[in-house]
Amino acid sequence: MSQNPNNRPVVQVNDVRKDLKMGQVTVKALRGVSMEVKRGEFLSIIGPSGSGKSTLLGIVGGLDTPTSGTVLIDGVDITNLSERELTRIRNEKIGFVFQFFNLVPTLTALENVALPIQFSRNRKFTPQQRAVELLQMLDMGDRLHHRPNQLSGGQQQRVAIARALANNPPLIMCDEPTGNLDTVSGALVLQALRDVQEQTSTTVIMVTHDMDLAAQADRVLPLIDGRIVDEVDPRSTAQMRALKELREERERQAAEIAQAEA
C-alpha cells in the first residue's frame, strides 16, 4: 500500500556517512546520520564549525553525494541520480538560501526571482507574475526594479528567499541565512522564513551555529563530530543552555589541540 504523499516526510536521511580525503588523511565528516523532516516543518541543524552541518546540507540538497546511506527528497531517492536528474530535482523540489545572497548583480530583484522559473522544465508559473507575487509577499513590492547593489543586505536576502520559492518547492534549505546580516536585518529575514513556512506550508531546514536563531525553529537537531547528538526542544532553556555549554567545551578543546600542534 503506497503512502499518502501528504503524510510522507519531505526529507528522509538514512544512515548517511561521508568520508573526505585530505592528503593522506581520511576525515569522517558524517558518521551515520539519520533523520526525517515532516512537510511544513521548520528544522534547525546546529553545531560548531567542523561538525558536518554544511556537509549534511550539501548532501540533502543534492550538491554532494554520501559515501554510504540514502537520501530521499519528497519520496525520490536522490542518492544515485545522474547530474542531469539532480539538476531537475534541485530546480523543482529544493530552494536554496545562502549566507552570501548569490544574486545576479546585473539583474533586478524581479529578474532574479523569475530566473529559476524560466529554466524550469515543467513550468508551473508565469515568471514575471510569480516573481511579483513572491516579492510582494516578502514586503519587497516597492523594490522590484532595484538591482542588488541598490538593496540592503536584509533586502537582498529576502529577494534570495523569493527566488528559492520561485518554483514552489516543498523544501527550502538555508545555510547560515543571517550570518552576513546585522541583528535587525537578521530578525527580519528569520521572520520572512517563518511567514513563508506558515503561509505556504513549505518545509524549511536551516543550518546555523547561532543558538538564539536555532531556538526559534520547531525542532533543533545538534550535530557534533558528524553525529546527531540528541533532539532538543527549542522551548527548553535548560536544554539550549546545556547544548551551548557542550559546543563551547568542544570549541575550547579544539583550540587547545590546535595550539599544542602549532
| Percent of the chain residues past pLDDT 90, beyond the cut | 37
Q: What is the pLDDT of residue 210?
A: 79
Amino acid at 178: T
* Average pLDDT score, the chain: 84
Strand-pairing partners, residue 189, are none
Q: Does residue 156 register a pLDDT over 80?
A: yes
Q: Does residue 235 register a pLDDT over 60?
A: no
Going by pLDDT thresholds of 50, 70 and 90, the confidence category of residue 239 is: low
- Exposure letters 135-169 (e unless 16+ CB within 10 A, then b): bebbebeebbebbbeebebbbbbbbbbbbbbbbeb
The grid cell for 77 is 531517492
Q: Can you tell me the distance from the alpha carbon of 92 to that of 123, in angstroms, rounded to the nearest whole number?
A: 9
Going by pLDDT thresholds of 50, 70 and 90, the confidence category of residue 56 is: very high
Strands 203-208 and 171-175: parallel
Q: Can you tell me the distance from the alpha carbon of 157 to that of 146, in angstroms, rounded to the nearest whole number?
A: 14
Q: Can you tell me the distance from the alpha carbon of 41 to that of 46, in angstroms, rounded to the nearest whole number?
A: 16
| CA separation, residue 228 to residues 39, 66, 70 (Å) | 21, 16, 16
pLDDT tens, residue by residue, 195-234: 888 888 899 999 988 777 888 888 988 888 888 887 655 5
Q: Is 40 exposed, middle or buried (0-12, 13-18, 19+ CB in 10 A)?
A: middle
Sorted by where each starts, the structural domains of the chain and their CATH numbers stand as 11-261 (3.40.50.300)
Q: DSSP assignment of 10-57, as one string?
A: SEEEEEEEEEEEETTEEEEEEEEEEEEE-TT-EEEEE--TTSSHHHHH
Q: What is the pLDDT of residue 262?
A: 59
Q: Can you tell me the distance from the alpha carbon of 132 to that of 112, in angstroms, rounded to the nearest whole number?
A: 11
pLDDT tens, residue by residue, 108-138: 999 999 998 887 776 778 889 999 999 998 8
The grid cell for 53 is 552541518
